[in-house]
Chains A and B, each alone.
Chain A
Amino acid sequence: MKITRIVALLMAILFVIPIASSCGKKDQTTLYVLNWGEYLDPDLIKEFEKQNPDISINYTTTTSNEEMYTICATEGTKIDLLVPSDYLVERLIKEDLLAELDLENIPNFKYVEDVSSTRTFDPESKYSIPYLMGTVGIVYNTTLVDDPVTSWDILWDEKYAGKIMMYDSIRDSIMVALCKLGYDINTTNPEELEEACALLKEQKPLVLAYGTDNIKYDMIGGSVALAVDYSGSATEAIMENPDLAYVVPEEGSNVWVDNLVVLKSSEHKEAAERFINFLCDPEVTAKNSEYVGYTTPNSAAEEYLDPELLAIDSYHITEDILDRCTYFKDLDSDALALWNDVWMEVKTAN
């Protein structure tokens, strides 16, 4: 009997606490933000809350687009604002989950307009505002590689057997093979994918490992000659080890941009737009970009950026790079199954 009483008491306390605390700040809006891990300078949240005392931010992080999608496609989600990658924005638009943004509430949009219009999935910025961007390219150690690195072909050069790292992700690795072959990186043509598969299988004996975040540390360590990596991660690696360099191969590659979007179900759209505007401020985005390492699409941020960061090649996404790179498109489940088959075949090959 005692136990039931204790349980009842505990339940009562559990219910009362949230009511009591919400009573205290009635006019307070809580904005639920879902972002990637280590993808926003936490000081900036405090700064925003100081500037906007009526808004408090509840910040959560996730590790993949897939997880992000699962969270925000669940009915009754509390999330207001999230930072999906390009192809996820496309899917969210398609499934009618995003709110249309009122650009008048986001005056700082003018700084990101140029990049925004290059985005094939939302060129009019109806639903999404670019946040940070990057490319996929080759990081290499200049003390171990004496050939000029300009093409993906070098990742198939037997001279570097056992000193090459590939990216452990379906889309990024197959993208490399498709670029080398001169095909579209969003292809759904089974024959083209078959060719890419054969190429990746041919490359496998030369590959030391398929990595993700660890590529950065292995490159800094200096034992790996060449690796496929994201530009932001490359920037961090180059800052630690000046022997490293980064190149976006001439055949082209993937450029990606993560975007600020508001869910249709959100009840705090205006507050979310204020936060978006804050993040598009040149000084704020410069600070954030320095913290995260990825490139800001903001045209006025350069004067606030650390010159040391600006001196690193991989930080810059020039027009020339944008021209030869492509954004990922959302693949439907049939196409994804094709891609997955290729990856399975590569991964299970001996």
Chain B
Amino acid sequence: MNKKKTFALPYVVWMVIFTVVPLLLILFYAFVHRTDTGALVFTTEYIESALSGSSMSVLLLSLEYALITTVLCFLLAYPAALFLWQLKSRIGSIVNLLFMLPMWMNFLLRTYAWRALLDTSGPINRILQLLGFPAQQLLYTEGAVIFGLVYNFLPFMLLPIYTSFTKIDKSYIQAAEDLGANKRQTLIHIIFPLTKSGIITGITMVFMPAVTTFVISRLLGGSQTMMFGDLLENQFMLLKDWNTGSALAVVMMVLMLLSMALVRKSDDGVMPGGM
């Protein structure tokens, strides 16, 4: 037992230095105001300015993009995972590898590649023109941003769902069939609840980073709109207003925690024993 603790030590130290301390610093900056005399006073003024209309509209837009991305990722990943699971395990793992393979390349490189593909004079438009369609403006549209987000985050949804599929004991399915459930009923009442933990992990791993990403909207969306990541960068780097910046981060974290709690709760509601 003691040995196990020793091995966990590096991680604990790492986590304290790089997660707990920064988190405390963010809270400090968000709630403590330093007066001209150097005294520290508790204040909510930064939180109030972080909750102003324009920052909130930025945050809402980022949440909207993240939500659309998460839903699309789920709609794509769940059937794919189901399909992978039904393949013979060797073929399944090869196909799974094919899904994961793009992740071995840096995501920035892949996003740059999509810029070239979506360009008005790029391959996709060339094919469209060969087929007799006029060239479309694909790059710098909302569609391109959503596409880029889904493309980049899909593996993070697929992998946990697929893993939860592989853990299903097939005798449950056989039992359901023996008891007269048809395929649809088996899917909804047996398979779906059994893969719930994978779905939750997938949602967390897609939704959270999708809210704060800004590179994709810059590269594929032409920065037409401001994302929450841009807003944070502006507060810290340009205005050097660490207080309001931290307050924005706090607001976002609270919203995230709330939405995660909601996801878990609504899933608990679906769960109870199938029927």
Q: Which residues of A approach B to under 8 Å, CB–CB?
A: 3, 64, 66-67, 70, 162, 165, 168, 170, 204, 207-212, 214, 217-218, 221-223, 333, 336-337, 340-341, 343-345, 347-348
Kindly state the separation between the CA atoms of A215 and B237 in the bound complex, as whole angstroms. Answer: 23
Offer 8 A-B interface pairs, CB within 8 angstroms, sorted by A. A66-B237, A67-B237, A214-B115, A223-B120, A333-B241, A340-B239, A344-B231, A348-B225
Q: Which residues in A have their C-beta under 8 angstroms from that of B234?
A: 170, 340, 343
Quick check: is B238 within 8 A (CB to CB) of the other chain?
Answer: yes
Contact of A223 (CB < 8 Å), options: B119, B230, B241: B119
- Given the known inter-chain contacts A333-B239, A337-B239, please indicate yes or no for A222 contacting B121, CB distance below 8 A: yes
Kindly state the separation between the CA atoms of A70 and B237 in the bound complex, as whole angstroms. Answer: 9
Nearest CB in chain B to that of A208: its residue = B140
Q: Which residues in A have their C-beta under 8 angstroms from that of B121?
A: 221-223
Min CB–CB distance B114 → chain A (angstroms): 12
Query: Given A66-B240, A344-B54, 12 more contacts at CB 8 Å?
Result: A3-B6, A66-B238, A168-B223, A209-B224, A212-B218, A214-B219, A218-B119, A223-B119, A223-B121, A337-B239, A340-B234, A347-B230
Kindly state the separation between the CA atoms of A210 and B226 in the bound complex, as whole angstroms. Answer: 11
Q: Which residues in B have their C-beta under 8 angstroms from that of A170?
A: 234, 238
B238 touches A340 (CB 8 A): yes
A162 touches B58 (CB 8 A): no
A347 touches B222 (CB 8 A): no
Chain B 208-238 against A: per-residue CB contact (8 Å), 1 yes, 0 no?
A: 0000000000110111111000110010011
Quick check: is B137 within 8 A (CB to CB) of the other chain?
Answer: yes
Kindly state the separation between the CA atoms of A67 and B237 in the bound complex, as whole angstroms. Answer: 7
Name the 4 nearest CB pairs between A and B, nearest first: A209-B222, A347-B226, A223-B120, A209-B140
Min CB–CB distance A332 → chain B (angstroms): 11
Kindly state the separation between the CA atoms of A3 and B2 in the bound complex, as whole angstroms. Answer: 14
Quick check: is B57 within 8 A (CB to CB) of the other chain?
Answer: yes
Q: Which residues in A have their C-beta under 8 angstroms from that of B222?
A: 165, 208-211
Q: Which residues in B have their C-beta under 8 angstroms from that of A204?
A: 224
Q: Which residues in A have their C-beta under 8 angstroms from that of B240?
A: 66, 333
A336 touches B238 (CB 8 A): yes
B54 touches A345 (CB 8 A): yes
B6 touches A210 (CB 8 A): no
A348 touches B57 (CB 8 A): yes
A207 touches B224 (CB 8 A): yes
- Given the known inter-chain contacts A337-B239, A340-B234, A348-B57, please indicate yes or no for A210 contacting B119, CB distance below 8 A: no
Q: Which residues in B have their C-beta under 8 angstroms from that of A340?
A: 234, 238-239
Query: Number of A-B pairs whose CB atoms are under 8 Å?
Result: 68
Contact of B120 (CB < 8 Å), options: A214, A221, A341: A221
Kindly state the separation between the CA atoms of A218 and B61 in the bound complex, as whole angstroms. Answer: 27
Min CB–CB distance B4 → chain A (angstroms): 13
A336 touches B239 (CB 8 A): yes
Kindly state the separation between the CA atoms of A156 and B238 in the bound complex, as whole angstroms. Answer: 28
A211 touches B223 (CB 8 A): yes
Min CB–CB distance A81 → chain B (angstroms): 23
Kindly state the separation between the CA atoms of A337 and B225 in the bound complex, as whole angstroms. Answer: 19
Chain B 73-106 against A: per-residue CB contact (8 Å), 1 yes, 0 no?
A: 0000000000000000000000000000000000
Q: Which residues in A have their C-beta under 8 angstroms from that of B58?
A: 344, 348
Contact of A210 (CB < 8 Å), options: B224, B231, B239: B224
- Given the known inter-chain contacts A207-B224, A210-B224, A223-B121, please indicate yes or no for A64 contacting B57, CB distance below 8 A: no
Q: Which residues in B have their C-beta under 8 angstroms from that of A70?
A: 237
Min CB–CB distance B5 → chain A (angstroms): 12
Kindly state the separation between the CA atoms of A103 and B120 in the bound complex, as whole angstroms. Answer: 53
Kindly state the separation between the CA atoms of A89 and B196 in the bound complex, as whole angstroms. Answer: 57
Kindly state the separation between the CA atoms of A165 and B137 in the bound complex, as whole angstroms. Answer: 14
Kindly state the separation between the CA atoms of A207 and B224 in the bound complex, as whole angstroms. Answer: 8
Kindly state the separation between the CA atoms of A3 and B237 in the bound complex, as whole angstroms. Answer: 41
Min CB–CB distance A211 → chain B (angstroms): 6
Min CB–CB distance A132 → chain B (angstroms): 23
Min CB–CB distance A219 → chain B (angstroms): 12
Kindly state the separation between the CA atoms of A344 and B55 in the bound complex, as whole angstroms. Answer: 9
Residues facing A in B14-68 (CB within 8 A) are 54, 57-58, 61
Residues facing A in B127-148 (CB within 8 A) are 137, 139-140
A348 touches B54 (CB 8 A): yes
Min CB–CB distance A336 → chain B (angstroms): 6
Listed residue (A67, A217, A223) with the most chain B CB atoms within 10 angstroms of its CB: A223
A210 touches B57 (CB 8 A): no
Contact of B226 (CB < 8 Å), options: A218, A221, A222, A344: A344
Q: Which residues in B have their C-beta under 8 angstroms from that of A3?
A: 6
Min CB–CB distance A328 → chain B (angstroms): 13
Listed residue (B119, B140, B218) with the most chain A CB atoms within 10 angstroms of its CB: B140
Q: Which residues in B have their C-beta under 8 angstroms from that of A64?
A: 237
Q: Which residues in B have their C-beta under 8 angstroms from that of A210?
A: 222-224
B225 touches A347 (CB 8 A): yes
Nearest CB in chain B to that of A340: its residue = B239
Q: Which residues in A have their C-beta under 8 angstroms from that of B219?
A: 214
Kindly state the separation between the CA atoms of A212 and B221 in the bound complex, as whole angstroms. Answer: 13
Min CB–CB distance A282 → chain B (angstroms): 36
Kindly state the separation between the CA atoms of A344 and B59 in the bound complex, as whole angstroms. Answer: 13
Kindly state the separation between the CA atoms of A168 and B119 in the bound complex, as whole angstroms. Answer: 19
A209 touches B223 (CB 8 A): yes
Kindly state the separation between the CA atoms of A212 and B239 in the bound complex, as whole angstroms. Answer: 20
Kindly state the separation between the CA atoms of A221 and B123 in the bound complex, as whole angstroms. Answer: 13
Min CB–CB distance B232 → chain A (angstroms): 13
Kindly state the separation between the CA atoms of A214 and B140 in the bound complex, as whole angstroms. Answer: 12
